[in-house]
Amino acid sequence: MDPQITVLDAGGQYCHLIARRVRDLGVYAEVAPSETPAGDLARRRGVIISGGPSSVYDPRSPTIDPALLDSGTPVLGICYGQQLMAHLLGGLVQKGERGEYGFAQLDITAADTIFRGIEGRQQVWMSHRDLVVKPPEGFIVLAGTETCPIAAIAAPERRLYAIQFHAEVVHTPSGRTILSNFLFDVCGCRRDWDPAGQVQAVEEQIRAVAGDRNVFFFVSGGVDSTVAYTLCLRALGPDRVHGTYVDTGLMRDGETEFVRTNFAALGARAFAVEDAQARFLDALAGVIDPEKKRHIIGEQFVDVQEKILESEHFLDGHWILGQGTIYPDTIESGGTANADLIKTHHNRVAGIQKLIEQRRIIEPLASFYKDEVRAIGRELGLAPELLDRHPFPGPGLAIRCLGSERNGVPKRLEDGWLLPVQSVGVQGDSRTYRAVLALEQFPASEEEAARLINRLEGINRVVVAVWTAAPLPELRVSPAGLTAERLARLRRADAIVRRLAHESGFDKEVWQFPVVLIPAGTAERPDSVVLRPIDSVDGMTAQAVKMPPELLARMVRELSALPGIAGIFYDLTNKPPATIEWE
């Protein structure tokens, strides 16, 4: 099938999400490199230029074939795509006085174009620092925000359109209408794609890739690996699929037994549990840097896998390795030509890349997002207790247990306290590693956290101190690493939060609820807990969620009674500018 729409990849974190949204609207789409020649796109009904982490003035930044903008093919630029279109056609792009990350309010001034059917001020999702300050000649301004007066432009007679915000993410409620207007009104697309019924196609792909080889899976018990494993069981039969769960010592309370019980119920005939706790903890001792943690965990996984594969003779040419990798794992690891590294996922480290190059890996879900994986799982008939689990990172609690190499104290700012703790963020499609701002009470509105981050250059996350054993400015950050004691402390806190969220039904109102341990406290209570309930669809963007006050009060009562806990903080930050996980 020839695609009607091509998404040109300029390195944006949401590039494949654009194609996904187009498919959701019933139109088949593909992703291609941004430099694809205009002649190769001549048969497309439309082209979309994605966002990206670069600046159009950087000589190494992604570009497109300029002939595309004079070809008559409809083009929609998104974020960096708007800046690139304006730059190539003689407009002016500059770095803004401040960034714009997360929610923004859009005022539409011309509603009869791609904004047809959209009325009033609109919530949109932004992630940029550069902006168009002068549109190209012949373009009209369609909409703007307080920070970005030129947030949408168009030359309708040339069928060229561009928007600074991300229409493809769920946190731009009118985004689906904007994309639909472009696809059907501007491009004249027809509906030719039904995203349902993917199971048969994926199973055929599994059989084609596996050939006469069997598949060995290292499963985590999460949604992705469970669905991928089940697909292989169906495609190849239980005699050709072997599964092993590696207990890293970084998992949640009761996780190993949960996995053992549920995978036996899937019909797996060969399933084993490998105890590797000491190995992982020894390798991670004293490691603070989040990227080093991820690399070490990934490489340890590969080493354990190689040991098992060699001992069980799985390297004799009749076996390949199966993984539950989904698309966000590859895009956040810099998996496309122009993408920035946000964080390295454990299934994209060097050892895994080597296996990919050797054609020894099968990843049935590598083109899908989390909600699509759940849809496939439902079609497979998997139990809700498996499919409805909150996503849990492959590196486990290791990336939720933050460390510190030095002592530090909170620094007073006009708006709150700057904690000497750093976390990973994603701002302007690029990775940041910045400090955390702690407030002493919840702000009046959810948008206040985003405004603080946009105004203060050195932070990417805002939390509120819900409870502290000592006054907030007296909490001290002390040198701390990843130890069995601190992991046990985090595991107990996580178990409390999961239990109370489940009993109250709050776990059904959020997509994920990470619990984080940071080394901020007192001599007797060296750590603090951070609560991070968020809502999302696919993990590419996320919105912080406030829980009911009575539930928060119950959590505070139980968490504050844990030995070693000096504070409880509540993360108010959306993604972007923060990542869902802290590391």
CB–CB of 447/574 below 8 Å? no
Instruction: Tell me how many degrees the CA angle 54-289-393 measures, rounded to the nearest 5.
Output: 80
Q: Which residue in 15, 16, 79, 187 is the catalytic one?
A: 79
Task: Give residue 343's pLDDT band: very low, low, confident or very high (50, 70, 90).
Answer: very low
Q: Give me the CATH code for the 199-395 domain, please.
A: 3.40.50.620
In whole angstroms, how far apart are CA 14 and each of 103, 127, 385, 424?
16, 11, 29, 18
The beta-carbon contacts of 353-362 under 8 Å, at least 24 apart in sequence, are 355/302, 355/321, 359/320, 360/320, 360/321, 361/320, 361/321, 361/322, 361/323, 362/206, 362/209, 362/210, 362/215, 362/232, 362/320, 362/321, 362/322, 362/323
The domain defined by 401-571 folds into GMP Synthetase; Chain A, domain 3 (3.30.300)
Annotation says 146 is catalytic: no
Total residue count of the chain as it appears in this document: 583
Name the residue with higher pLDDT: 540 or 171.
Answer: 171
DSSP structural state of residue 479: -
Q: What is the pLDDT of residues 1-31, one digit of tens each?
A: 789 999 999 987 788 889 989 989 999 898 8
In whole angstroms, how far apart are CA 160 and each of 43, 290, 300?
17, 42, 49
Least Cα distance to 217 among 236, 204, 199 occurs for 236
Which region, left, alpha or beta, applies to residue 83 given φ > 0 means left and ψ of -120 to 50 means alpha? alpha
Q: Which residue in 16, 128, 166, 242 is the catalytic one?
A: 166
Q: First-to-last CA distance in the chain?
A: 40
What is the spatial distance between Cα 517 and Cα 538, in angstroms, rounded to a whole number? 25
Give domain limits for the chain.
5-186, 199-395, 401-571
Q: Nearest 5°: phi and psi at 41?
A: -105, 10
For 285-337, where are the alpha helices, taking DSSP H only? Answer: 290-311, 327-331
Annotation says 345 is catalytic: no
| pTM score, whole prediction | 0.72
Provide the percentage of residues in the chain whose pLDDT is more than 70: 93
> What confidence score (pLDDT) does residue 328 get?
61
Q: Give me the DSSP letters along 485-523.
A: HHHHHHHHHHHHHHHHHHHHTGGGS-SB--EEEESEE-S
- Half-sphere exposure for 306 (CA within 13 Å, toward CB): 10
Highest mean pLDDT among 23-32, 294-303, 525-534: 525-534
pLDDT > 50? residue 345: no
CB–CB of 574/550 below 8 Å? no
Task: Give residue 117's pLDDT band: very low, low, confident or very high (50, 70, 90).
Answer: very high
Name the residue with higher pLDDT: 182 or 294.
Answer: 182
Q: Which residue in 168, 332, 581, 583 is the catalytic one?
A: 168
Q: What is the pLDDT of residues 183-223, one digit of tens each?
A: 999 999 999 887 557 788 899 999 999 999 999 888 888 88
For 370-477, where are the alpha helices, taking DSSP H only? Answer: 370-380, 384-387, 447-455
pLDDT > 50? residue 296: yes
What is the spatial distance between Cα 320 and Cα 232, in angstroms, rounded to a whole number? 12
Tokens standing for residue 508: 């059904």
Assign 579 to helix, strand or coil: coil
> What confidence score (pLDDT) does residue 338 get?
60
What is the spatial distance between Cα 65 and Cα 331, in angstroms, rounded to a whole number? 23
The stretch 280-304 carries a mean pLDDT of 91
Greatest CA span in the chain, whole angstroms? 70
The stretch 369-397 carries a mean pLDDT of 87
Q: What is the pLDDT of residues 402-442, one digit of tens each?
A: 999 999 999 999 999 999 999 999 887 688 999 999 999 99
> What confidence score (pLDDT) does residue 306 get?
76
What is the spatial distance between Cα 454 and Cα 100, in angstroms, rounded to a whole number? 6
For strands 140-144 and 92-108, give the pairing.
antiparallel
Instruction: Tell me how many degrees the CA angle 504-253-549 measures, rounded to the nearest 5.
Output: 25
Assign 422 to helix, strand or coil: strand
CB–CB of 153/139 below 8 Å? yes
Same fold across 5-186 and 401-571 = no
Annotation says 257 is catalytic: no
Helices and strands in the chain: count of H runs, count of E runs = 15, 25
Least Cα distance to 158 among 91, 76, 77, 72 occurs for 72
Which residues 6+ apart lie within 8 Å of 555 measured at CB? 496, 497, 500, 531, 547, 568
Assign 80 to helix, strand or coil: helix
Decide which of 1.10.3720.10, 3.40.980.10, 3.40.630.30, 3.40.50.880 is the CATH code for 5-186.
3.40.50.880
The stretch 82-103 carries a mean pLDDT of 92
The helix (run of H) or strand (run of E) holding residue 88 is: helix 80-88
What's the whole-number average pLDDT of the chain? 90
